[in-house]
Structure 1
Amino acid sequence: MRRRLLIVLSLGWIFNYVHRMIVPPLIPLIKVEFGINNAQAGLLMTSLLLPYALIQVPAGYLGDRFGRKRVLVMSILGYSLSSALMLFGRNYWHVIGFRALYGLFAGLYYAPATALISEVYGRKKGSALGLFMVGPPVGSGLAPLIALPVALSLGWRWAFVVTSIASALIGLALLFGVRCDTKRGEKAKATIPRHLLPLGVANFAILAAFFATLTFLPDFFVSMGRSVEEASLYFSALSIAGIAGSLGGGALYDRLGRKSTEMAIGLTALLILLLTVSTLPQVVPILGVFFYAIGPIVTAYTAELATDENRGSVMGFVNMAGFFGATVGPYSLGLLIDAFGYKMAFLALPALYLLALGIIMKEKR
C-alpha cells in the first residue's frame, strides 16, 4: 500500500509542476497578446509563488493536525479547478489573479506529502523522496510538450484546461483508491527550531535561482536566435535529465548525507555559469542532473531535523523560505534582463547558488 501511496503522491506532485511550469513555454505567446515586458512576464510566476510560500507552514500544520490525506486531496482538486479558470482570463490582471489562486491550493501539497512519505519510509526516506521529487523535472518537462500543441491548435488558455482534467483524476484516485493514515494529531505543533533558520536562508537563494532559471530559460534561447519550438525542446531536455538527478539525489543523500548537498549546489553553479557564457545547448542535460538533484537532498535533510509532532511545519517552513526566494527570483531576473540583457542578467544565477553553498558550508563548520 505504501508503494501505491508513493506513486499517487508523486503523480500529484508531477501535475503540480505541470500546472506551474506551463507558463514559461507560453510566455512568448502571452507577451504578444497582452503586450507585456519581461518583468511583467516574470510576475506571472511571482503571482503564484507568493501565496504558495505563505501557505507552507499552515499546510504542514493542518496536515499534522487534521490528517495529511485530507489536505492533499483538497490541494489537488483545488489547484486543478483554479488552473482551469485560466480559460476565462481576458486580460493580464485576470491571469495574475487566477495564478495566485492556483498558488494557494498548490501550496497545500508539498509539506503534508513530504512529511507523510518521510514518516512512512523512515530510514529509506531519501530514496522515496527521490522518486517523489521527480515531480519538478517530469512536470516541467511535460509542460511544454502539453502546452505548445494545445496552444497552437486551440489557444494557450486551453492548455490549462487539459492539464486540469488530468490532475483532477489523480485527486480522485488519492481520495478513493489509496488508504493511508488520516488520523488527527492532537499534539501537533507549529514550532520551528532556530537552527533551521540558516537552512531556510540557503533555500531562499536556491529556489530564487531555480525558478528564475526555469521561467526564462526558453526565452534565453529564443533571444539567442533559436525558435520557440527548439527552445522548448531544450527546456524539456533539462527536465528529462533532471529525472535521473532527482532519483540519484535521493539515493546519494541516503549514502552521503549533507555532503551531497554541497556537491549538487556547487556543480549547478558551475554549469549555469558555463551555459551563460557559452550558450551551448549541450550543457543543458548535464545541468539538469545536478539542478534537480538538490530538491530531494534538501528535503531529506530537512526531514532529519524534525520530530513527529512538527514534521509538517518544519517541512513547510524550509519550503516557505525557499518559495519567498522563488517569488522574487523570476521578477528580479526579468528586471535584470530588461536592464542589462540576458547574458549579464544570468550571471546572477550562479551567484545565488554560491551564496547558498557558503551558508551551508558555514553551518557545517
Structure 2
Amino acid sequence: MKEILLLALISLGWIFNYSHRMAVPALAPLIREDLGIGNAEIGLLMTSLLLPYALIQVPAGYLGDRFGRKKMVVLSIIGYSLSSALIFVARDYWELVGIRALYGFFAGLYYAPATALISEIFKNRKGSALGIFMIGPPIGSGITPLIVVPIALTFSWRTSFLVLSLMSTMVGILLLLTIKEDWKSVGRVSFSIPRGVILLSIANFLGMSAFFAVLTFLVSFLVDKGMSVEKAGLAFSLLSTFGILGSILGGFVYDRIGKRSVLLAYLLNSLFTFLILVNQNILILVLLGLAIYSVGGIVTAYTAEKSRKDNLGVVMGFVNMMGFFGATVGPYVVGVMIDSLGYSNALLFVPISYLLAATLIFLDEKLH
C-alpha cells in the first residue's frame, strides 16, 4: 500500500512538472502578442528551461542514489513550484527566459531519482509502474490549457503560472508529510555509463527533439490552419487525454514484448506525425496521442534493463539528459524553420526525426 501511495504522489508531481513547462505552448499566442515576440522566441522559452534541465540529469541521478531519491523528488517539486511562481512578477522577455531556466534546473532534479526509485521498488512490474508514472506528460499537457487559458483570459497569462505553482506546492508538501520512509537502493554508487546505452541515448535525443517540437507548436499549427485558440487548445487536450491511455498501454506492452516495443513506438510516431501534417483529422489526432505518449514509459523501462543496481540513477539520468539535449534543440530549430518555411514544411522535421530514432533502435537490437 505504501508503494502504491508513493507511485501516486510521484506521478502527480510529474504531472505538474509537465504542466508548468507546457503552459508556455498553451499560452503562446497570448505571450507573443503581449511581449511582441515571434515563434523563435517562443521556442527559446522552451530551450531556456530544457538546457539546465538536461544538464542536471546525471547529477540528479547520482545524488538521488547517494542521499535518498524521495528527498530529491520533494526538493524538485518545491523548487520548480517556487521558481515558476516568479513568472508572475516578470516584466520583460529576458526576465522570463531567466526564470524559465531556474525552473528547468529544479524540474530537472525529478526524473532520474523518481524513475530509479520506481524501477527498484516494482522490479519485474517496472514497465507497468513506469507506464503509470509516465501519464505525467499527457495529463500535465492535457489539463494545462483547461487551467491556464481561462485564467489568462480572465486575469493575465502571468497569473496562470502563480495558480499552477500553488497547486504543485501542495503535492510536494503531501509527499513530504505522508511518506516517511525513504528508499535507498545502493550504498556505493557508480558513475559508469555502459556502451550499450549509446544508441538508445541518441535515439532518445531525436525522439525528444521531435516530441517537444510537437508539444511546443501544435496549438500554433492548428491556429495557422484556421482553428480558434480555444478549439486548438481543446484539440491539444484531446491529444493528451488519449496520451494517458497510450502511456499506460506502452508500459504494459513493454512488460510483454520487451525492447521490440521501442522500435514499434518510434515507427508509429513517425507515421502519425506525418499524417497529422497532411490532415488534421480527429482520428489521426487520437492515434497520435496514443503513440506519442507511449514512448516515455517504454524507453524508461528499456533504460532500466540496460543498467546495474549501482548505476541505475546515473544511467537513467544520462539517457534522459541526452533526450533533453534534443528537447532543447528541437523547439528552437523548428521555431526558426517555421518563421522561414511555414508550419507544414518546418514540422516535417518531426516524422523524419522519429524515423531516424527507429533506425538507431533497429541497429541497437542487432548489435546487442
Shift of the alpha carbon at 1:183?
4.4
Q: Structure 1 residues 347 and 184, CA, compared in 2 at 3 Å: closer, same or farther?
A: closer
In 2, Cα distance between equivalents of 1:113 and 1:180: 15
Q: Describe how 1:200-211 pairs up with structure 2 within 5 A.
A: 200-211=201-212
Shift of the alpha carbon at 1:149?
0.7
In 1, Cα distance between equivalents of 2:333 and 2:280: 21
Q: Tell me the SS of whatever aligns to 1:363.
A: helix
Residue 145 of structure 2 corresponds to 144
Shift of the alpha carbon at 1:263?
1.2
1:97 equivalenced with 2:95 (yes/no): no
Amino acid at match of 1:334: G
Shift of the alpha carbon at 1:285?
1.3
Shift of the alpha carbon at 1:71?
0.7
In 1, Cα distance between equivalents of 2:308 and 2:168: 31
Residue 300 of structure 1 corresponds to 301
Q: Tell me the SS of whatever aligns to 1:282.
A: helix
Residue 36 of structure 2 corresponds to 35
In 2, Cα distance between equivalents of 1:71 and 1:318: 19
Residue 169 of structure 1 corresponds to 170
Q: Tell me the SS of whatever aligns to 2:47.
A: helix
Residue 261 of structure 1 corresponds to 262
Residue 66 of structure 1 corresponds to 67
Residue 17 of structure 1 corresponds to 18
Structure 2: gaps spanning 5 or more residues: none
In 1, Cα distance between equivalents of 2:163 and 2:186: 37
In 1, Cα distance between equivalents of 2:106 and 2:322: 18
Equivalenced residue count is 365
Moved more, 80-89 or 175-184: 175-184
Q: Are 1:66 and 1:185, in contact at CA under 8 Å, matched by a contact in 2? A: no
In 2, Cα distance between equivalents of 1:72 and 1:364: 33
Q: Tell me the SS of whatever aligns to 1:327.
A: helix
In 2, Cα distance between equivalents of 1:96 and 1:64: 31
Residue 278 of structure 1 corresponds to 279
In 2, Cα distance between equivalents of 1:192 and 1:132: 24
Amino acid at match of 1:2: E
What is the percentage of aligned positions where both structures have the same residue?
A: 56
Q: Tell me the SS of whatever aligns to 2:293.
A: helix
Structure 1: gaps spanning 5 or more residues: none
Shift of the alpha carbon at 1:99?
0.4
Residue 197 of structure 2 corresponds to 196
Q: Are 2:196 and 2:306, in contact at CA under 8 Å, matched by a contact in 1? A: no
Residue 342 of structure 1 corresponds to 343
Amino acid at match of 1:46: T
Q: Structure 1 residues 74 and 280, CA, compared in 2 at 3 Å: closer, same or farther?
A: same
Shift of the alpha carbon at 1:286?
1.2
Residue 356 of structure 2 corresponds to 355
Q: Are 2:209 and 2:329, in contact at CA under 8 Å, matched by a contact in 1? A: yes
Residue 125 of structure 2 corresponds to 124
1:313 equivalenced with 2:298 (yes/no): no
In 2, Cα distance between equivalents of 1:92 and 1:66: 37
Shift of the alpha carbon at 1:184?
8.3
TM-score, with structure 2 as normaliser:
0.98
Shift of the alpha carbon at 1:280?
2.7
In 2, Cα distance between equivalents of 1:194 and 1:126: 22
In 1, Cα distance between equivalents of 2:183 and 2:68: 4
In 1, Cα distance between equivalents of 2:189 and 2:256: 30
In 2, Cα distance between equivalents of 1:320 and 1:251: 25
Amino acid at match of 1:190: F
Residue 365 of structure 2 corresponds to 364
Q: Deviations over 1:297-338 (max 9, x none)?
A: 000000111111110000000000000000000000001101
1:212 equivalenced with 2:213 (yes/no): yes
Q: Are 2:117 and 2:183, in contact at CA under 8 Å, matched by a contact in 1? A: no
Amino acid at match of 2:333: S
In 2, Cα distance between equivalents of 1:310 and 1:91: 42
In 2, Cα distance between equivalents of 1:186 and 1:264: 36
In 1, Cα distance between equivalents of 2:320 and 2:291: 19
1:159 equivalenced with 2:189 (yes/no): no
Q: Deviations over 1:122-177 (max 9, x none)?
A: 10000000100000000000110111011011100011111111111110111110
In 2, Cα distance between equivalents of 1:183 and 1:122: 14
Q: Deviations over 1:7-37 (max 9, x none)?
A: 0000000000011111111000010111111
Residue 57 of structure 2 corresponds to 56
